Structure 1
Amino acid sequence: MDFWPEFLASSWGKEFVAGGFGGVAGIVSGYPLDTLRIRQQSSGSGSSSAINILRGIVRNEGLAALYRGMGAPLASVTFQNAMVFQIYAVLSQAFDTSVSIKDPPSYKGVALGGVGTGAIQSLILTPVELVKIQLQLQDQNRPKTHPMYCHKGPLSVARSIFHTKGLRGMYRGLGITVLRDAPAHGFYFWTYEYMREQFHPGCRKSGQESLRTMLVAGGLAGVASWICCYPLDVIKTRLQAQSPLAPLKYNGIVDCLRKSVREDGYGVLWRGLGTAVARAFVVNGAVFSAYEIALRCLFNNGDHASIPTENAL
């Protein structure tokens, strides 16, 4: 995402709002693919392709099931995006003080700032993704001893987990989320800053790259960040997919890794990667478009409205 130089602007609230619009657009556009990814990762059968899973969902649960659980990330996306933008802006400068505050952060600062941002945001993201995954997998996780077990929304899931497992249960998967998001954000920010500069030399300082440049650079950054951390994401999904009403199958990260590989082979660690990569490009495109359009609408002084959109890469 385009974190520089917007967060040095005095009207920080506009970036907060724009970040919220971008986050909402990304979630809405990519959520069906996210549901397919989660189902692929949690499936015990390696033969379940995204197309077969999609057909099964539409046939047995209806199209609305592709958006089940979207309320949890939507409810937190504005604050989460604003927090990520602000933390990254601060950390990317703090990790390399040799660069002037008037200049964009160095690539070293970008990477380290991304790692720190990913680690910190995990504190908010862990319970949100836990609730989301529980809703996305509700039908296949319904215990036989609780045939009427059905949550109506994210609050119902959160109350159930908190009641049965306490606050610790809400943070199941925190460790693996940190291990996933810290390096992934480092790769994400570094790739984005590097690629936008390659597509449009000098744009990191001038801020005059085209919208197309931001979309493509962001899409590539999203793909790179997913590829580097994908096996960790599979383990995270399996840990957080366990029903709070049934005995836990996995006792931790290592135990989940061993049992998953023993049952389904090493290929399980990459199951659903194609769906995740496709979603990453779609989501980042939507996020960048919504974010930049919102900034241009919110800023009336013309600074952001002048960003070119028609230039070629």
Structure 2
Amino acid sequence: MEFWPEFLASSWGREFVAGGFGGTAGVMAGYPLDTVRIRQQNSTGGGAAAYQILRRVVATEGPFALYRGMAAPIASVTFQNAIAFQTYAILSRAFGTNATSSNDPPSYKGVALGGFGTGAIQTLLLCPVELIKIRLQLQTKPITTNQSYGSGGGTTTHKGPLDVARSIFRSEGLRGIYRGLGITVLRDAPAHAVYFWTYEYTRESLHPGCRKNGQESFRTMLLAGGLAGVASWICCYPLDVVKTRIQGRSDLYTGIVDCFRRSVREEGYNVLWRGLGTAVMRAFIVNGAIFTAYETALRCIVPNNKDDF
């Protein structure tokens, strides 16, 4: 009976719950566009436009196909975001040498370094989740033609995330579950540095003093979060394309360099930016939702005193 009051009274508890709210809001807001992005990135040839993929998926597989694989990120999102936000809070203050007291916000240098470390650490959880998600997103029904709108032509179907995980374990072992870990670290570490720095800088620019008093508007949260997501995706997008291809088709590429060389040789450098428009649109929606839900939840669960429970 005493667990939840004590848990929510601690910074770890508040960050955990608020991070869960933020992550869940982000996944639900942007998952259909994420499915379209993954299929664009993994398509061969010239690639299809986002609206063409969207129409074909809905027409041939139904609208729920856009949410295929969502159980994996939803199941892990609370823990993942708890780690991300709490790790960022700790590291940004540790590196934020300009902070003179516990009430001062960390310096922008501390924000960037804290974000870099956060991105690197969270990949240990994120890599297997994204691998399973991508395999499900690229999956098509056996009754369709062999052209699978970006799945590499495969028609193998799985019943859900656990079925995918068991299949990978049987064929590739633990190493297979962490396929793409290196490229995920290369993508997420610098991207999170840009992500958190852009968010903190933008919110302070739009609402001076809010980093210290925490009193910004919903418009500030939405805009700052959205722009942070856009900036982080633009800076890492070519790496994300390579990651999607490595994790989507384990039989085609031997590693990061091989995937990069073959993709560019066969389809040109434009392949590294395929699906960027979809990713940017999704990033603005998702990260606006994440930071708004996170900041709102964090304020709502901060108790004035223990008697409030």
Query: Do both share a fold (TM > 0.5)?
Result: yes
Mean CA deviation greater in 210-219 or 13-22: 13-22
CA distance in 2, matches of 1:47, 1:138: 17
Q: 1:230 aligns with which of 210, 228, 237?
A: 237
More off after superposition, 89-98 vs 257-266: 89-98
What CA deviation, in whole Å up to 9, does each residue of 1:56-79 have, x standing for no partner? 101111101000000100010000
Root-mean-square deviation (CA, aligned residues, Å) is: 1.7
Partner of 2:26: 26
Confirm or deny: 8 A CA contact 1:46 1:271 kept in the other structure: no
Q: Please, which runs of 5 or more residues in structure 2 have no aligned partner?
A: 1-8, 141-147
Q: In the alignment, residue 269 of structure 1 is paired with which amino acid? A: L
- Alpha-carbon offset, residue 289 of structure 1: 2.9
Match of 2:182 among 172, 175, 180: 175
Q: How many equivalent pairs are there?
A: 287
In 2, Cα distance between equivalents of 1:131 and 1:95? 34
| Distance in 2, Cα, partners of 1:288 & 1:166 | 36
Deviations 1:12-67 (A, max 9, x none): 31331121111111101100000000000000032400011011101111101000
Taking the aligned partners of 2:47 and 2:248, their CA distance within structure 1 comes to 20
Alignment TM-score, normalising by the size of structure 1? 0.88
Partner residue of 2:228 out of 221, 234, 244: 221
| Residue type at the aligned position of 2:77 | V
Tell me, in whole angstroms, the C-alpha distance in 2 between the residues paired with 1:277 and 1:225. 9
Offset, 1:104: 0.6
Are the counterparts in 2 of residues 21 and 291 from structure 1 also a CA contact under 8 Å? yes
Q: Are positions 1:272 and 2:275 aligned together? A: yes
Aligned mates of 2:78, 2:10 — CA distance in 1:
19
Deviations 1:153-186 (A, max 9, x none): 0000001001110000000000000000000000
Q: Deviations over 1:182-218 (max 9, x none)?
A: 0000000111111111111111111111121111011
* Partner Cα separation in structure 1 for residue 35 and residue 10 of structure 2: 39
Q: Amino acid of the residue matched to residue 259 of structure 2?
A: C
1:54 counterpart = 2:54: yes
Question: Does the aligned pair in 1 maintain the 2:92–2:114 contact within 8 Å?
Answer: yes
**Percent sequence identity over matched residues?**
72
Following the alignment from structure 1 to structure 2, what is the Cα–Cα distance between the partners of residues 35 and 78? Answer: 21
1:118–1:182 contact (8 Å) kept in structure 2: yes
| Counterpart for residue 6 of structure 2 | none
CA–CA distance in 2 between the matches of 1:289 and 1:78? 16
Q: Is the 8 A contact 2:72 2:161 kept in 1?
A: yes
SS of 2:10 mapped into structure 1: coil
Amino acid at match of 1:36: V
Taking a change above 3 Å as real, the CA distance of residues 72 and 194 of structure 1, as seen in their structure-2 partners, is: same
The TM-score normalised by the length of structure 2 is 0.89
